[in-house]
Structure formats: structure tokens, C-alpha cells
Amino acid sequence: MKSLPVVSLLALAAVAAWAQAPDVSQSLSAPTAEPPAIKSFDASAMDLTADPCTDFYQYACGNWMKDNPVPSDQVIWARSFSLLRERNRYLLWQELDAAAKDPKSPLQRQYGDFYAACMDTDAVEKLGLKPILSSWSEIDRLQSVKQIPALLSRLENQGTPDGFFRFDVGVDEKDSSKQIAELHQGGLSLPDRDYYIIENKHFADIRDQYISHMKKMFALAGDSPDQAAQETAAVMEIETSMAKASTSRTDLRDPNKRYHIYTLVELSNLAPDFDWSVYFRGIGIGRFDTLNVATPDYFKALSAMLSSEPLDAWKSYLRWHVLHEQAAFLPKAFFDENFDFFQHTLGGQQEPEARWKQCTSLTDRALGEAVGQDWVKQNFPPAAKDSMDRLVKALEKALGEDIQGLPWMTDQTKKAAEEKLAMIRNKIGYPEKWRDYSSVKVSRTALIENTHHVDVYDRNYNYAKLGKPPDEKEWGMTPPTVNAYYEPSYNDINFPAGILQPPFFDFTADPAVNFGGIGVVIGHEMTHGFDDEGSKYDGKGNLREWQTPEDRKAFSERTECIAHEYDGFLAAPATAEAPAQYLNGHLTLGENTADNGGLRIAYQALLDTLAQEGKSMDEKIDGFTEAQRYFIGFAQVWCQNTKDAAARRFAIVDPHSPGRWRVNGTVQNFDRFGEAFGCKKGQPMYPVSACRVW
């Protein structure tokens, strides 16, 4: 199923419901009540005993954090994102449950049956391992490593995951008028390469627990203890070698480091021990002569591994990935073991979410634009879209003013930046044209088979783009999603209807609160077009330098200031089992730049809006000035509590900073905050010197 763009507002790891797999042991009872709407501004969430000039996050969110510990079925609990996700998911569940019981159209029958199959735990138990045994049989019949390319193509044609790598079609980053074939690294089961290669007690313990988990899973599938140990050792050796060959997440943020055009002959020379012609012919992709090999070192190493690792080791590796990547859909014993390691050990989650939540989220991800058609009719009226259009225009104007006022940028680069800003496309709410899922076969009793059919549909949908111009109206998120994103190759900002709800966007709230909520979100996504990654693309979405050398140098000095600043922010404290975990300022640089820019831009847009209404930032509502309400509204978007284990994982894999630093890290870089709260220069939230890019 399709993945999300990399420059989204919020980490997928933190919010994607299916990141916690469905538990067949959970109660199948329906939810008892609709979650309430969330207030856009909540004074009761604040800790007024805290000094806003010392720790603004504690001041704005302290009481909420004290009163809202992470629920047992979550690893992160956020005042805005989590609560709105729960509400949206409940409203979506109502639609799915009704369609499963009494569909009114072929579309409702399709997604109703998909949901019903997910909820049918008796069928899951009855089928047992049967849904994956045919794939295992194909793996067992391998006679030579040379047959692996043909096997991978057969598995992928069936929708069966196999590890190894990711192949798809994407926009050519240096010619955004066309879409080309792409190869990306893959093959790992743990969250990141660091888990395999960093030598400290914390990661060593996780590796030991991962090995124990694999042995248990192989044993559940029928291996003897000796067989399970042997297969586990083979998987661990191969995945560790893949991890060593993988490019780091931080390096992958640089588009120039993931753009390497190869001819098919050059690819064969790079990785000669994998027959690419057999693989490409087998998966049915159209003809192409060149492709982007995003991570050449990985494929060079993979080829060497194919010649050095024995056939039985590769069989174990393939068996593992078929089992591991579908464990969420297998009977209780497999799910429980999978949950215990991947959610509990790695994330600190105490118990799985209720089955209806998981099945609602899975159906949304699988058939999102089918489900979304009915959802938006009920939850996103035309008036909401019109209001968003006006807000976006206000933010565009503010960003234009910001560009003109930048002291470090020359006129030549300012002109190019303004041209790019004028070319940004805005997509609000939902697609103009819905995807057609009518070809996807869905059964009410075969969950894994349904997921395979969706995966094949998504793959073929993607492959059909080869050689064609990009569809600028296509979406990468489903309508109920509580998130937003900027796509550099399209130069567009995208706001699903799911986030255009209270507390982000509230018709009844004053302008300061709306600009502090959805206004900063809009400014954040716009700024992504000008962060350390987005600034390398021009207005047409092409990877091309448009800043002068002098301006690029000045820009880099300012982004390095932010990277160094966030390197010093603590993500998780030291424990007896693990050292203190700090943020990676370069991994999170794009998001931190967007947060800092978005806060400034939305503030300017608020000033302009209030001026048009004959109002000022000094006017008070419920004891707070409009300026103060703006910053408090912004901060309360990010009120959250997170399990320590999850916080450590996010610091390694997530390009977003945690809520505390998304708030304190930005306000301490913006003088208007210190002025609004009467802070003294030199206090933590009003430092003498601050970082600023936009």
C-alpha cells in the first residue's frame, strides 16, 4: 500500500494506526461513544505556575501532560493529533460498519467487505498459516541463488512482501515532466540500520531480543529449536550485511545523494549477481533504458552477498520476510509474539488497539479514496474549503513579504524564490478525481488475500506511470488523515480534510488561535519548499540550484545554526539500560526549519489579518492578548506524552522533533514571542542570539 511523502507535518511512525497491528485476541465490541471535538484553545491545559520565558512548553501544556498519560494501547498521546485521529477514525468506523452490514452501492460493498474480513477473527484463526504457505513452497523449491530474481517477481505479482529492495516509478528529480523507474535500498526488519551496527548495550540488547523473537516465530511456524536457531542466524547475518551497506537516513535527506541515473547495462555491471532482465520482465513493468539507482552501494553489496551467502541462508531470509511482514494478519499466537517485540519492546506499547480501530485504519489505507468519498461529504463542507483557500492566500502573502525582507539574501535569489512561491500548487481537502478501485477483488473472509490484491493494484497503478508526465492532481494521503505534506517534485502543498478540523481549524475561534493552529501548519508546509532539501528544487520541481553561491553559503550557515541547536535537545533520558538519546539535528533539519519558518510566516499573516479588521495584537480575550493566544494555540497543537522506548526510536528514525522541541525550539528563535510574554533578553525562551533561516 502506498507510502507517505517524506516532508509531512507529522511522523508516520507516530500517527499511523496500522503501525500497531491488529490483535485477534482483542474484543470485537463496537465503540461506545463518539469522541468529543477538541478545543482549539484550552486554558485548563496550561500550567500557570510555570514561567513561559523559561519553559513555554510546560506553561502551555503542563496540566494537559499531567492529566493525560499515554494510554496502554498507544506509544504517543498528543492533545491535537491523537485526539483528532481518534475522532476521525470513529466517524470513519461508522461508515465502514454500516457498509459491512448493509451496503447501499457497489463501492460500499467493496470497502464494507474489506472491513468485515479484517474483523472476522474466526476466519483468521481457521486459515492459520495457509495464506502464506504457497509462498513458502515457492521459496523451498529454489534450486539456485540465480533463481531469486524470478522468484521475487512471482511473489510480487501475488502481492507477497519479500524484502530485498524497493522498486517503483517516481518523478525524475532533474526533469519533473516525466516519471522514471527507481531502485531503493530495503531488506531490514528492525527500524533502522543503526539497530544492527551501533555497538552499545542498548542496541546489543535489542539485537538479542530480536534474535529471540525470530526463533519463537520460526518455532510457531513449525521449526524445531535447532532449525529455528539456524534460520534466525542466517537472517541476522544477511540483514546485518544489508544494514552495513545501507545509506543513512540523514544522508538520504540530500536529494543529490539519492539521484544516480544508470543504464540497464550499468546496473548489471554494478550488481552482476542479480539478473535484472529476468526480474523486470517478470514483474511486467514497461520498457525503460535508464533508471535512478538511489543507493548504488547497497546494490553493489547485495550482489556480492548473493554470491557469498549459501542458498539455504537466502531461503531462510525470504521465509522470514514473508512471515514477518504478514504477522499482523495471522492467528493470535503469531500476532502476540510479533506485538510483544515490535510494539512492546521497541515502542513501550502495553496492549494493542481495539480490533475495530485497526480494521478501520487498514481499510482507509487500502481503499482510502473509496472510503474518503463518503467521509468528506459528511465532515468537510464547502465552506471549510473556502476558508482554507483564504488562509493559504494570507500565508502566501506573508511568505512573500518574508522573502523580501531577508537581510542575507541577494535580489537575484529573492526573485527566484518569489517565482517558486508563485508556482506552488495548493491542494485542499480531497482529490478532484477519485481513484477507481473497481478492479480490486475483495472477499469477506480472506484478509491476507485482500491485502495482496490491494498491494498488486497499488503496484500496477504505480507502474502504469512509467514514461508519463506526473499527475499534479494526485494525492499521497487519504482524506481522513490528520496530517499535511509538501511534495518537492510537484512543488505543491497538500492538506487532507482530516486535519482541517478543530483544534487546527475552527470556525468559532478567534483569528489568533486559527493562525496558531492551521496557519502555522500552512506556513510549515510552504517553508518546506525552502528548507535545506526543498530549496534544492526549483518552482517546476526540478533538482536545480537557483540560489547564487553567495546565498547558498549564507543559507547553509543558517541551517547549520538550527542543526547544531537541535543536536543539544534531549529526546530521552539515560537509564540503566540505555544512554541519553539526543535529537539528530541534521536528520530533523528540514522539519525544524519548516517549524521555525511557519511560526514566523503565520504570525505575519495574523498581523495583516487583524490590521484589515481594525484590530491589534494587544487586544485581550479571556485575559490573554491576541499575540499570546497565537503562541499558546500553536504550542497546544504539540502537547504530547511519549513512552521512553518510543522516544528513543523516533529520535533515530523520525525526521520530526518531539513536541517539546517543536515548541520551545521555535519560540526561542522568534523575538516576537519574548515580546508577547514580557521576557527579558537572556532568558531561555528569549536568548541574546537566535537561529533564523526564513
Other CB atoms within 10 Å distance of the CB of residue 32: 5
- DSSP 3-state of 199: coil
DSSP annotation of 182 = E
Alpha helices by DSSP H, listed for 464-531, are: 511-514, 520-528
> 617: which residues sit within 8 A by CB, 6+ positions away?
512, 606, 607, 610, 625, 626, 627, 630, 676
Which phi and psi angles does 180 have, rounded to 5°? -130, 165
What are the beta bridge partners of residue 426?
493
Closest CA to 676 of 622, 625, 603: 625
Quote the CA–CA distance of 403 and 412 in Å, as a whole number: 12
Nine-digit cell string for 188: 531490514
Residue 593's identity, in one-letter code, is: T
Residue of 525, 532, 533, 565 with catalytic role:
525
Are residues 111 and 100 in contact, defined by beta-carbon separation less than 8 angstroms?
Answer: no
**Number of residues that this document lists for the chain:** 694
Q: Which three cell numbers stand for residue 329?
A: 494478519
How far from 526 is each of 92, 535, 560, CA to CA, in Å? Answer: 29, 11, 20
Nearest to 78 by CA among 670, 596, 566, 650: 650
* Whole-angstrom distance, CA of residue 536 vs CA of residue 91: 40
Half-sphere CA count of 1, side-chain side, radius 13 A: 20
At 372, the amino acid letter reads G
Q: What is the 3-state secondary structure (H, E, C) of 580-638?
A: CEECCCCCCHHHHHHHHHHHHHHHHHHHHHHHHCCCCCCCEECCEEHHHHHHHHHHHHC
Distance in angstroms (rounded) separating the CA atoms of residues 84 and 208: 37
User: Residue 525 catalytic?
Assistant: yes
Whole-number Å distance between alpha carbons of 230 and 42? 56
Catalytic-residue membership of 595: yes
Residues β-bridged to residue 175: 172
Tell me if 596 sits within 8 A of 666, measured CB to CB: yes
Q: Residue 649 and residue 11: Cα distance in Å, rounded?
A: 12
**Measured distance CA(59)–CA(624) in Å, rounded:** 13
The number of beta carbons lying within 10 Å of the beta carbon of residue 560 is 15
Check: CB of residue 349 under 8 Å from CB of residue 643: yes
Query: How far is 584 from 644, CA to CA, in rounded Å?
Result: 17
ω into 503 cis (within 30 of 0): yes
Give the C-alpha separation, 656 to 337, whole Å.
29
User: Residue 572: helix, strand or coil by DSSP?
Assistant: strand
Residue 432's φ and ψ, nearest 5 degrees, are -70, -30
Backbone angles phi, psi at 474, to 5 degrees: -75, 145
331's grid cell: 492467528
C-alpha separations of 548 from 441, 542, 551 in Å: 53, 17, 5
Nearest CA among 460, 447, 366, 439 for reference residue 157: 460
User: What single-letter DSSP state applies at residue 406?
Assistant: -
* 86, 353, 532, 595: the active-site residue: 595
Active site residues: 525, 595
